[in-house]
A and B are shown apart, each in its own frame.
Chain A
Amino acid sequence: MIGIIDYGMGNLRSVQKAFESLGSQATILTTPDMIDAQVSHLVLPGVGAFGDGMTHLRDRGWIDPINDFYKSGKPMLGICLGMQLLMDSSEEDAPSRDQPIPGLGMVKGTVMLFAGDAYGPGKLKVPHMGWNSLNIQQDVSLFADAPENPHVYFVHGYYCSPADSNVIIATTDYGSPFCSSLKQDNLWATQFHPEKSQRVGLKMLENFAAC
């Protein structure tokens, strides 16, 4: 069964229904003790701000259970904010660049703001919103049967910059290439929303469920 973590950051029903439409069982986990032997896959979704996300994870006691699940070797997927929270830290909501907000620290690296002004005034619009293509870097099961350079749906103003480039499985060009999906052992993450990416995205969720 696929467990979807509900930590108060956005609506999770579309993620749940997407899995259900693919014939997988998916349940929304409102408390950490709902993770039991039945839960074979864990999904950390989320929209909103990084700082709020970490606060909610901490207040609801999710940090250790998420780490334990990762260590158990079972497949786990972070989506959008859920991907960013896996990193060491983020400059979103940070008082300064030197004092980033700490994240879960499961993947080494930081979360950074798209520099809209670096490309001339008003040229690079932030948030990065809409359909952009993936440059698949590694032949992994998540992208099985995906078309070449598939278009997927993004809505975000910040992006992950992993310290180890070996974890990057796809990049996307926005101003310059950024990491749009990563894989570290049993941990997967996508900056885009597979559950909003129509057929292409649903296929990726199906591939994840088959992990």
Chain B
Amino acid sequence: MQFHTLFSKAVPLLWYGSHVDKCEKLTRAPGGTRLCEASSIVVYKSSLLQILRLVACEVWDHLLHFVTLLTHRIIPCLDVKAGRVVKGVNFLGLRDAGDPVEIARQYDEAGADELVFLDITASHEKRDIVYDMVRKVAEQCFMPFTVGGGIRTIDDVTALVQAGAEKVSINTAAVVTPEIVRQTAQRFGRCATVVNIDPKRVPRDGFEERRAEREKQGLFAPHAVIPDGQPDDIVFEIHVHGGRTPTGIDAIAWAQYIVELGAGEIVLTSMDADGVKTGYDLVITGGVSSAIDVPVVASGGCGSPEHIRQVLTETDADAALAASIFHYGEYSIQETKQYLHEHGVPVRLTH
């Protein structure tokens, strides 16, 4: 192993900064015997073992990192409408800011690890335009990419794969007909089957009504799984149709279900964080990524490379998706990766 690789692994091993929060939470648990008190931290006997366990887990995690050099992926997401990239991409030297192929080629050159194309065309009649775009991208860009948006049936999935998408990402259709996830995995493999999950924080009362309604209809209606340390009057509910329609389905339980059906990757977009640029939603990203054993792509809320560092180190997310920070040239892919590398996050620097 090269020295710099070893070094970048050893630094986080010695640095337990990410534990401060967890430890504080434990030490602040009321009651029990106070063992010691230093500055603002009080250590209770009852929580000491738990702290030791946490530290042991973290050491194990980092030891494991020694033998898994899989890097974290940085993924720009492009919104496409009728075959054109919308919400503008503003690179230096881009001749056509709406041409998906040219933008993809630029990101390929810039060292993006993967691309996601999200088709937001309202009309289903214009699918051919999407297939044509996918074909052109696949023919000219030698990097991985995922295509999502507007998928309703297994035939839509098949057409996308035949056009050259190696991964397809299913969102609303997975909720309407979960069977499409199983069919996609059967036909094209688990590796090609990506499911988008769009959770949003909602009061428990409203959620319970919608959940009960689903249960009455005999649909998959699990009880809410509340991530660690969260108030249980708030539920992370899946929303569809671009975040407009609540479904009565809990995000963590849904993620587990959909992985069982055949999803090989989850793109998790927090509806609360999306577009706000104040950072990824670490709570739900942590909750989902630790509950399932397939890769999770964190999405929604990225405003800086530091946000990417947070979500990749403080949760089990495997990849980070971002749009505007890259599209508007606020940060380049390379400087983002350099920042992550300097902070001990394994990324692919050369390409």
Contacts and interface: CB of A to CB of B under 8 A. Distances in A.
A104 interface: no
A131 B292 contact: no
Nearest to A152: B348
A126 to B, nearest CB: 6
The size class of the interface chain B forms with chain A is 35 or more
B70 interface: yes
B190 interface: yes
Interface in B247-281: 264-265
Contacts of A17: 138-140, 142
Interface residues of A, number: 52
B166 A10 contact: yes
A129 B264 contact: yes
Contacts of B265: 127, 129
B164 A130 contact: no
A191 B42 CA distance: 51
A122 interface: yes
Contact of A198 (B72, B143, B167, B187): B143
B130 interface: no
B142 A197 contact: yes
B142 A47 contact: no
A126 B259 CA distance: 11
A49 interface: yes
B12 interface: no
Interface of B: 2, 60-61, 64, 67-73, 108, 111, 113-114, 135, 138-140, 142-144, 161-167, 186-192, 264-265, 290-295, 316, 318-319, 348, 350-351
Interface of A: 10-11, 13-14, 17-18, 21, 47-49, 116-117, 119-133, 147-151, 153-157, 172-177, 193, 195-202
13 contacts: A10-B188, A11-B138, A17-B140, A47-B188, A122-B292, A127-B264, A127-B265, A130-B319, A132-B71, A150-B350, A193-B144, A198-B142, A199-B351
Given A14-B139, A195-B142, A197-B143, 12 more contacts: A13-B138, A13-B139, A122-B291, A125-B293, A127-B190, A130-B71, A132-B69, A151-B351, A153-B143, A174-B67, A196-B143, A198-B143
